[in-house]
Amino acid sequence: MTALPLATEKKLGLVIDLDTCVGCQACATSCKEWNDGGYSAPLSDEGAYGPDPYGAWLNRVHSYEAGEGADSRTVHFPRSCLHCETPACVTVCPTGASYKRGEDGIVLVNPDTCIGCKLCSWACPYGAREYDYTHGVMKKCTLCIDRIYNETLDPIDRQPACVRACPTGARHFGDLADEESAVSKLVAKRGGFDLLPEMGFKPTNKYLPPRPRKVTPEKEAERPEPIERPDGSAAERLFAWIDKVLSA
Amino acid sequence: MHPAYSVILFTTSSGAGYGLLFWLACAVLFGGVAPTGALASAALFIALALITVGLLSSTLHLGRPERAWRAVTQWQTSWLSREGVLALATYVPAGLWFFAQWLWPGIWWPLAMVLALLSAIGAMVTVWATGMIYQSLPTIRAWHEPMVAPIYILLALTTGAVVMAVLLAAFGAPWSTMAILSALLLIIAAAAKWIYWRRIDTAPRDWTIESATGLGRIGRVRPLEPPHTQANFVMREMGYAVARKHATVIRGLALGAGFVAPALLLALAASLPSGGPAAFIATIAALSVATGVLAERWLFFAEARHVVTLYYGADRA
């Protein structure tokens, strides 16, 4: 059903740390690898080794430059479904294939009832949904629903593939409805923010802003000159003579 | 937004069909046109053909057309589903009326009037639902505009009126009133489109790459490296920008060829007696309107900018 649950028991989601993300694409490739065999299979690629490869991916890592001059920095920016509290992608769906789960808030597409009209992708401001031309249905992040509840996996692996793959610990998974959860505390401590909050879809996923720079341009100016100037002492002349002899 | 030809054909063809159905019903209800007979049969056939071609065409852009029936289930939340339900519901009175042409030519006139009335209401409500599919999307500023659904209705009424004028002239029925009405509707539609284009050109485009990424707190944001080397679905579907630089020219062509020229033609020809020459001129006007409306509908997609393009380097949306 495309009617939204009034409230969800849990709000499972991701917290993405833009300070520590290094843009290595491990989350994106690991997502592709897992989901090409799991719930979202097939996550098709066309002409993968040709001149114009095309494929559906559920996670994309952009790189942006932010700020000016000495204070500018590179920010790597992973972008995937934010599992919004009031997702328009669900309510516009004419078939009920798109739905939001009442128990954990995960937004899913049922690949057996999706007609591939693509209206949900128009309704999403975050570009979270990618159409699979081969399969003829819409694909999106499932929050690895086939991992997080999968009792055949080791407990440590029962989290989304992207989180498991991240080498810098920039991705965190948990219940954002629980104020005592590690992710909620992290969001509170680091000032986690929503993307495009003015659109009103109330994303569950949060982004942690890059930390303030430790070395500011002012501090940089105060730093002592690193290279020592020649002072003309006897020892210095001795070493200069040795250097000259050895270099000859 | 990528202009899918199947959706352009659907909205223009079905729009004209529903408009024709509306005007035929009006002609029967208020204009003394017989609810059965050659004129009503031909008009109903053409209206239902235009509607059906459009609806079938709309299923061509689906990835899974065989599942299209599922689209009538979510009318509580989805405008696309509501459109499907209303389109199917309108087939009931229009279809009964159509089959009465042969099965029951001397149809009891109150029943004919009820079928005509229900057909007219169904036609307009369906077109309104089509417009609301677009108008209800806040992610596309040019569509999230109170004029969008009314313009869909206005253009359906206009194109339907022109086809109705052609049919009246071809069947030797009094056509002058319909020709004048078509000319007036064409001018009103042209004015509405002109105001709409002015509005979308001057609307504040205050979503930025800074707000989309939340990185405005650091300063100005610009893309450094894209996430992929080739265009993905999001860029193909939402990032369409091929013809924007020609938009002004196409707007002029749509207004001139699609609205102003046929309005003049119909207004001048309205004094002609109904018959061959009048029908010929009206047909030329109708073809001209069709070209203009196709161009207008193409622009409706091609000019619409989606918020998601901000992530791919659009400065504003």
pLDDT at A48: 87
Lowest mean pLDDT: which of A77-81, B20-24, B200-204? Answer: B200-204
pLDDT at B243: 65
Residue B221 phi, psi (nearest 5): -115, 135
Q: B207 in contact with A at a CB cutoff of 8 Å?
A: yes
The structure tokens listed for A69 are 């001059």
Query: Contacts of residue B240 in chain A, CB cutoff 8 Å?
Result: none
Query: Contacts of residue A74 in chain B, CB cutoff 8 Å?
Result: 224
pLDDT above 70 for A1: no
pLDDT above 70 for A29: yes
* Interface subset of B 228-247, CB within 8 angstroms of A: 228-234, 237-238
Query: Contacts of residue A137 in chain B, CB cutoff 8 Å?
Result: 63-64
Question: What's the gap in Å between the CA of A233 and the closest CA on chain B?
Answer: 48
* Residue closest to B50 by CA, chosen among B72, B19, B28: B19
Query: Contacts of residue B217 in chain A, CB cutoff 8 Å?
Result: 209
- The average pLDDT across B3-27 equals 92
pLDDT at B107: 73
C-alpha distances in angstroms, B300 versus A149, B7, B156, B303?
45, 11, 15, 6
pLDDT above 80 for B27: yes
Residue B196 CA to residue A183 CA, distance in Å, equals: 46
Q: How many C-beta atoms surround the C-beta of residue B188 within 10 A?
A: 15
Question: Do strands A206-208 and A12-17 pair parallel, antiparallel, or not at all (unpaired)?
Answer: parallel
Residue A56 CA to residue A32 CA, distance in Å, equals: 9
pLDDT above 90 for B206: no
Residue of A nearest to B78 (CA): A92
Q: Which of A2, A194, A209 sits opposite B217 (nearest CB)?
A: A209
Q: Which of A66, A68, A92 sits opposite B78 (nearest CB)?
A: A92
CB contact under 8 A, B61 and A117: yes
pLDDT at A226: 67
Mutation target vs B (from A110, A196, A213; most B CBs, 10 A cutoff): A196
Q: Which of A117, A125, A193 sits opposite B214 (nearest CB)?
A: A193
Mutation target vs A (from B61, B205, B213, B220; most A CBs, 10 A cutoff): B213
Lowest mean pLDDT: which of A196-205, B13-22, B113-122, B267-276? Answer: B267-276
pLDDT confidence of B34, banded at 50, 70, 90? confident
Query: Contacts of residue B72 in chain A, CB cutoff 8 Å?
Result: 94
User: Which residues, in sequence order, are bridge partners of residue A62?
Assistant: A77
What's the whole-model pTM score?
0.89
* Interface subset of B 92-151, CB within 8 angstroms of A: 133, 136-140
Q: Is B34 left (phi over 0), alpha (psi -120 to 50) or beta?
A: beta
CB contact under 8 A, A193 and B65: no
